[in-house]
Amino acid sequence: MGNTPRLLGLLWSAGKGIAAAVTVMRLTQRMIPAATAMVVGLLMSRLTVHGTKSFSTMLVPLAAFGAVLFVSHAAETFVEPLAYLTQQRIDGAHRVAVTRLVASSPTVDVLERPEAQQLIRQAKADPDDYTQRTPGQAALAELDQAADAAGAAAACLVVAQFSWWLVPLLLIPSLACVRLRYRQRLESVMLWRAQLGELLRADRWQEMLTSGGVGKDLRVFGFGDWAVRRLSRLHVARSEPMFALWKRHIRGQLWIPLLVAPSLLLAITAVAAGTVNGHGSIATETAVLAAGASLFTMFGSGDSALTRLSGLEALTAYDELAGLFGKHTRHPLPAAPARTRSYSPVRFEQVGFTYPGTTHAVLDGLDLEIRSGELLAIVGLNGAGKSTLIKLLAGLYDPTSGRILVGEGQDLSELGAEAWRERISVVFQDFVKYQLSAADNVTLGRPGVPDPAVLEAAAQDAGLQPVLDRLPDGWETPLARSRTGGVDLSGGQWQQVVLTRALYALRTGAELLVLDEPTAHLDVRTEFEVFRRLAEQRNAAGVVLISHRLSTVRQADRIVLLDGGRITESGSHDELVALGGSYARMFAIQAERFQHGHRHAIEEDELL
């Protein structure tokens, strides 16, 4: 009961007019049985008093009967569209609230936690199976239960016209039937959820066996029959317990006639006997019997209670999610109105970082300065912490120890994520391929109306123009084959799109460009041209580059080697080679491989 005000409040949030309309319609539907019983009783009273010879006396009850039928039909016609609109508004607002809550955290460490992902799946109100319900459905179920209670109360008032003791005689068995159906439905739901693991495994197998990618292996290696048999066993293992439960429930349904028949027969007998003995009229008897019979269908099968319970799970998950994210949400300071290059320099001072749930320190006492107008390259072996350093620089994680200072010594965590991210543009190694147009893929990171001239300039800098020339609709071509008129790009071409996005941001106000393996899928010639243009940009902004190709980073003004969570070597390419340390050995190994014809990238088709 404690959640009733909250659920009814959700109805009100869908719009006062719509909430009032759907409430009236639901209540009207539940009042129809009692109203019908009363009108039929009135009709019978006129017939018994005046007979069929006085038709004029029948006009009022007949008109009333017609009005009840009309209202019933009107309510049935309008209630479903109104309920659908109400549910969609509630669920839409709820999903927006979940998204806003998840996006409120300036870092991603909370988002990556398993408990957070589980809560997001529960709170997003996007049912994956028939046992799940949304907050909108739960709010309507709460309204249904209230309307059921009102309708039952009206029917009980009609029954009480004959005798008060008929009310518990009919009401208690009807509530017992609802309770029995509810328990059976709840058992089915709980069993279904207990078997979700088997269901997911079966779904994964079926999806895999019908996909185009696995289809080749399925035919070449000839394991189709074996896979189908495995899928069949999973379905059988999942369905047998449910089938056994349903058989038990069918046997349980036999109790319903035993609950209903005695009380209903006793009520019919008592009312008939009372009418014969002069206690009440035939009209009263008709109304009482019609209203009493309606009590057994008034409460349905208990679906409303289950829907309410399941929908509340999404709201509870949202509350827990709010508590989890609320502990880690910072309110960013507003960005300074005047745009200055206050990011320079950026200093890492004794920065340490350990991923949540682990004990290994990826960064340990790291000191690094990022200077204005400098092309800085960061190199190191896999797992050295290069990408982690970039995530810290982007403010996606807070350092476990130490601090990151920007400008005149302001702590990055105090500057505010929004203000800081307006000043940087980042290309991650695991960039996202958005199924949007080429123009949207480039400009989505910078709000406002796109500038065509800046778009073209950024495309030229990133080497994307030849790709654009081949797209059917140029900038407006969707970069997804699943969309009408869309195409798929190769890995190298997608990388050029993402580079264009970063350079577009640089030309529209960003002051620091951060690139994590930005050319891993490009051929050597294209890569060289891209970095030549990047080097030209460093006078307008600082550039931080991570790349495994040392032949490319040799163009950097300064190269730092990350090893053991710290900077162990720093200098120009020539200085580090002359030093004869780890960088020099890494460069010699790569140079030898290149001389022997080994390639650093796998070529892909240009347009798939």
Q: What is the pLDDT of residues 226-272, one digit of tens each?
A: 878 888 877 777 778 878 888 887 877 777 777 777 877 777 777 77
Q: Is residue 336 part of a domain?
A: no
pLDDT at 337: 38
pLDDT at 132: 81
pTM (2 d.p.): 0.70
| Residue 125 shares a structural domain with residue 243 | yes
pLDDT at 328: 54
pLDDT in tens, 405-418: 988 788 887 777 67
- 94-98, 228-232, 297-301, 501-505: segment of lowest average pLDDT: 297-301
572's torsion region: left (phi>0), alpha (psi -120 to 50) or beta? beta
525 within 8 A of 555, measured Cβ to Cβ: no
pLDDT at 486: 85
pLDDT at 458: 87
**Is 90 exceeded by the pLDDT of residue 191?**
no
Residue 602's pLDDT band, with cuts at 50, 70 and 90, is very low
Q: Is residue 553 part of a domain?
A: yes
Residue 136's pLDDT band, with cuts at 50, 70 and 90, is very high
Q: Is residue 601 part of a domain?
A: no
**One-character DSSP codes across 101-133:** HHHT-SSSTTTTSHHHHHHHHHHT---SSTT--
Q: Is residue 48 part of a domain?
A: yes
| Residue 354 shares a structural domain with residue 299 | no
pLDDT in tens, 349-378: 999 999 887 888 999 999 999 888 888 999
| Residue 175 shares a structural domain with residue 316 | yes
**Is 70 exceeded by the pLDDT of residue 24?**
yes
pLDDT at 333: 37
- Return the higher-pLDDT residue of 186 and 334: 186
Residue type, position 151, single letter: G
Edge to edge, the sheet with strand 410-411 lists: 361-370, 346-354, 401-406, 410-411
Q: Is residue 339 part of a domain?
A: no
Compute and round to an integer the Cα radius of gyration of the chain. 36
**Is 60 exceeded by the pLDDT of residue 381?**
yes
**Is 70 exceeded by the pLDDT of residue 335?**
no
In angstroms, the CA 53 to CA 343 distance is: 98
Token readout for 460 is 């030229």
Total domains present in the chain: 2
| Residue 14 shares a structural domain with residue 157 | yes
- Return the higher-pLDDT residue of 606 and 59: 59
CATH number for the domain including 413? 3.40.50.300
Residue 563, number of CB atoms within 10 A of its CB: 16
pLDDT at 607: 43
pLDDT at 348: 94
136 within 8 A of 90, measured Cβ to Cβ: yes
**Is 70 exceeded by the pLDDT of residue 521?**
no
Domain coverage including residue 484? 346-595
Burial 113-143 (b: 16+ CB within 10 A, else e): eeebeebbebbbbeeeeebbbbbbbbbbbbb
Q: Is residue 333 part of a domain?
A: no
- Work out the mean pLDDT of the chain and round it to a whole number: 80
| Residue 305 shares a structural domain with residue 440 | no
Q: Is residue 338 part of a domain?
A: no
Residue 559's pLDDT band, with cuts at 50, 70 and 90, is very high
**Is 50 exceeded by the pLDDT of residue 601?**
no
pLDDT, average across residues 152-168: 80
Q: Is residue 181 part of a domain?
A: yes
**Is 50 exceeded by the pLDDT of residue 339?**
no
